[in-house]
Chain A
Amino acid sequence: MLHAGHVPDAVTGARAVPIYQTTSYVFDDPDYAAQLFELKQYGNIYTRINNPTTAVFEERLASLENGTGAVATASGMAAQFLTFMTLLQPGDEILASSHLYGGTYTQLVHTMKKLSVTTRFVDPADLDAWEQAITPKTKLLYGETVGNPKGSILDIEKLAELAKSRRIPLVIDNTFATPYLCRPIDWGADIVIHSATTFIGGHGAAIAGAVVEAGKFDYSRYPTISAPSPSYHDLRFYDTFGHYGFLMKARAETLRDTGASLSPFNAFLLIQGLETLSVRMDRHVQNARAIAAYLNEHPMVEWVAYAGLPDNPYYELSQKYLPKGPGAVFSFGLKSGKQDARAAGKAFIQALQLFSHLANVGDVRSLVIHPASTTHQQLSDEELVAAGVTPNLIRLSIGLETLEDLIWDLDQAFHAISR
């Protein structure tokens, strides 16, 4: 968190990571430039492809995730897209958990469809369903360590065994867990995706993402990685770069061509975030556990979906994969009594003083959102349930405030809507 990826530079010895706010880099000589463009030298070419500040963030995250390397992107959505665009071609299929972030869902269903890549969804807990849904076209398995919106925990090890037996890479979105709480690569995942916007940054000041790769998957059956690349004189990335093949391809081709690169300034902000990740996550989890327990006992709460509670169906999986705690994002159902559930949710949010009402998670400040009156308001009650969101669902992202202050705030909001 503190040292990996950064060696103080030889000239200035600057201790903090300098911000290399530059678009481009002077080449040593024409031969060197030519070699750089042929990828025969590792070096800085153009900030759309790489940047020394961004590289510190990339290597540090790769180190934390126990990966062989990383590519940073402009957002978490861009990280997913970069992965899909690097691995897949028209006609391929993605097999994904149905418990996903809404943005991921729309990218898979609508945007990837335009590229003739279709996605099938399965209940993440049903391993037989995963196995049965794999077709010869399935080129990627996808899931979230802690799934949206109900906080389900993915059985990564089992899924990795299945993926391995079918020679398909397992891609895990580890945003809600961060590498401090869970390292999917250690359980057999091949690619880890992050929205670095959330806990990794922590400050809620920068949108960012990253793709980390384990370097263990055999891509020789994936023409997108192993076949000659027409844009690099028929270079075979997997043959030439070995376990760096996927990442080199993702950077030198997909990132170059899609342009969703991270700004060096944002990389700097994320590096500041990473420096305190473990301390923050401990506190996030400590607060989240206490608030989940408080809500679980509250008469105005119908249910609490936090895998850290012993009565949660995912408790055992969370003990295995997230022994320090299943993060700090979870939802609960408000008991509305005679009141309309949507109206009660809206009134509850309205009454909160400390929880910020917004559409993000993983901030140092506590956050709240009522999907039925905001992100999902256009859906009918039936459609909401199909999307895994009930009208009374309220999602919390627990921050670092003093616990008593947060409980005071929830208390007074419950009181306000019970009148």
Chain B
Amino acid sequence: MGPGSGLSCDITLNSSLSPELRATYQNPGLIRDVLRESKTIAIVGLSSNPQKASHFVATYLQYEGYRIIPVNPGLDEILGEKAYPDLLSIPKDIRVDLVDVFRPAYDTPEIARQAVEIGAKTLWLQLRIINMEAAEIAERGGLKVVMDKCVKMEHGRYNGSLHWVGMNTEIITARKARRWF
């Protein structure tokens, strides 16, 4: 219950990445930094179907205090936010910190290029989305990169709510809980 303040295990479960790649793209310290520092999250491929994973994630993040910017060429507005057809169409006065991607892996290099262009700080590819080319593009552009992870699961893991549904958060600590983000 509640977030760990000290040690946090590397998550070895449920990823097809090698241990070396996990250390880079699923690093618990990096993920915590990203979730703490990000305020505005562009969700590429956010669905209007309320039962889709992307919708679950967007609803959750909004409730947790993040501003979400929907990116989907087929939508005008969703969850009270105006939707944009692509990252480049987001007005310059909206500073996107994190680009969260719910698109097939082959679409991600172009999304990475756009994420670099709009000056986002992190590119995050959701569970089961892995693309090394996209990762390299984003890294060359100075972005942090997370792959094959779910933003909602990670947030829930560190803030303690994932624990409440019996999931293995792999957080081991004897220190008092504190809120990370």
Contact = CB atoms under 8 A, between A and B. Distances in A.
Contact of B1 (A4, A9, A39): A9
A189 B51 CA distance: 30
A240 B53 contact: yes
A286 B96 CA distance: 61
B12 to A, nearest CB: 9
B92 interface: no
Contact of A7 (B52, B128, B150, B173): B173
B85 interface: no
A69 B168 contact: yes
Interface in A51-86: 52, 54-56, 58-59, 62-63, 66-72
A139 to B, nearest CB: 22
B75 interface: no
A242 interface: yes
Interface string B56-84: 10011001000000000000000000000
Nearest to A248: B165
Interface stretch (B32-40, B108-116, B155-163): B155-163
- Chain B residues touching A, range: 35 or more
Nearest to B157: A42
B153 interface: yes
Interface core residue of B14, B52, B168, B174 (most chain A CB under 10 Å): B168
B167 interface: yes
A247 interface: yes
B161 A42 contact: yes
A242 to B, nearest CB: 5
Contacts of B179: 10
Interface in B21-57: 50-53, 56
Interface in A129-171: none
A44 B161 CA distance: 9
Given A55-B166, A58-B166, A72-B166, A8 B177 contact: yes
Nearest to A10: B177
A32 to B, nearest CB: 7
Given A6-B1, A7-B3, A240-B53, A55 B164 contact: yes
B163 A41 contact: no
B19 to A, nearest CB: 15
B169 interface: yes
Contacts of B150: 242
Nearest to A212: B168
Contacts of A239: 52-53
B175 A8 contact: yes
A55 B60 contact: no
B165 A55 contact: yes
B60 A56 contact: no
Contacts of B176: 7-10, 13
A79 to B, nearest CB: 13
B172 A3 contact: yes
A216 B164 contact: no
A116 interface: no
B2 interface: yes
A40 B56 contact: yes
Contacts of B153: 244
B56 A70 contact: no
A43 interface: yes
B166 A251 contact: yes
Given A9-B2, A32-B63, A240-B56, 20 more contacts: A5-B169, A7-B173, A8-B176, A31-B63, A40-B60, A43-B161, A59-B167, A59-B169, A67-B168, A68-B167, A69-B167, A70-B166, A233-B50, A241-B53, A242-B53, A242-B150, A243-B127, A244-B153, A244-B167, A251-B166
Closest 10 CB pairs of A and B: A58-B166, A69-B167, A42-B161, A62-B168, A10-B177, A243-B14, A240-B53, A40-B59, A7-B177, A235-B51
17 contacts: A6-B1, A7-B177, A9-B1, A10-B177, A10-B179, A35-B63, A41-B161, A42-B165, A44-B164, A52-B164, A55-B165, A59-B167, A69-B167, A228-B51, A240-B56, A247-B167, A251-B166
